[in-house]
Amino acid sequence: MKDRDSTARRSLKVMAAYVAVAVLCIAAVLVARSHLVAPHRERNAALNAIASNLRILEGAKEIYALEYKLATSSPVVEADLLAYLHGNVAIQPVAGEIYTINPVGELIAAKLTRKLYQYDAGQLLTVTNF
């Protein structure tokens, strides 16, 4: 009888050890996955913010051009667009990008100062990239 009890206790201890190891393995995989996914999310957030900024600027430029009846290729500067931006405040870069306000009829561009996801530093992005 004692042999059965000690064997049962031993097998329970072994089973508990296996469960503990399995839980630790699952936890390690989840931690490793979060470290792999976090930078990806950060890059995507920066690109999404740049795309949003480009859309906002394009919309402001379009409204400005319509309101002042500007012809294609008429120059537009950032100061012209401030009245059409929320709070009359210029768009702030999210990843060090530099916005270029092109004339009416041309898309506004964001020049990257560092590599973001698949886009290299120095590359120009417009709303058509997204």
Tell me which of 30 and 54 has the higher pLDDT: 54
Q: Average pLDDT over the chain, rounded to whole?
A: 87
Q: What is the model's pLDDT at position 39? A: 63
Sequence ranges of the domains in the chain? 2-129
Extended beta strands in the chain, E state: 98-100, 109-111, 124-125
- 116 DSSP β-pair partners: 119
Q: Give exposure, 66-88, as e/b (b: 16+ Cβ within 10 Å).
A: eeeebeeeeebebebbeebeeee
Read off the pLDDT of each residue in 3-11 and give the average, rounded to a whole number.
73
Residue 104 backbone phi and psi in degrees, to 5: -55, 135
Q: What is the C-alpha separation between 16 and 12, in angstroms, rounded?
A: 6
Is it the case that residue 34 has pLDDT exceeding 80? no
pLDDT cut 70: percent of the chain above it:
87
Structure tokens at 24: 């630790």
pTM (2 decimals)? 0.70
Structure tokens at 93: 């870069």
Tell me which of 50 and 34 has the higher pLDDT: 50
Q: What is the model's pLDDT at position 2? A: 60
Read off the pLDDT of each residue in 70-80 and give the average, rounded to a whole number.
96
Q: For residue 94, give every residue at least 6 positions away whose Cβ sits within 8 Å of its Cβ, in sequence order, or none.
A: 46, 49, 50, 53
Q: What is the model's pLDDT at position 8? A: 72
Q: What is the distance of C-alpha 30 from the center of its chain?
A: 22
Residue 22 pLDDT class (50, 70, 90 cuts): confident
Answer yes or no: are the C-beta atoms of 82 and 88 closer than 8 Å. Answer: yes
Answer yes or no: are the C-beta atoms of 56 and 78 closer than 8 Å. Answer: no
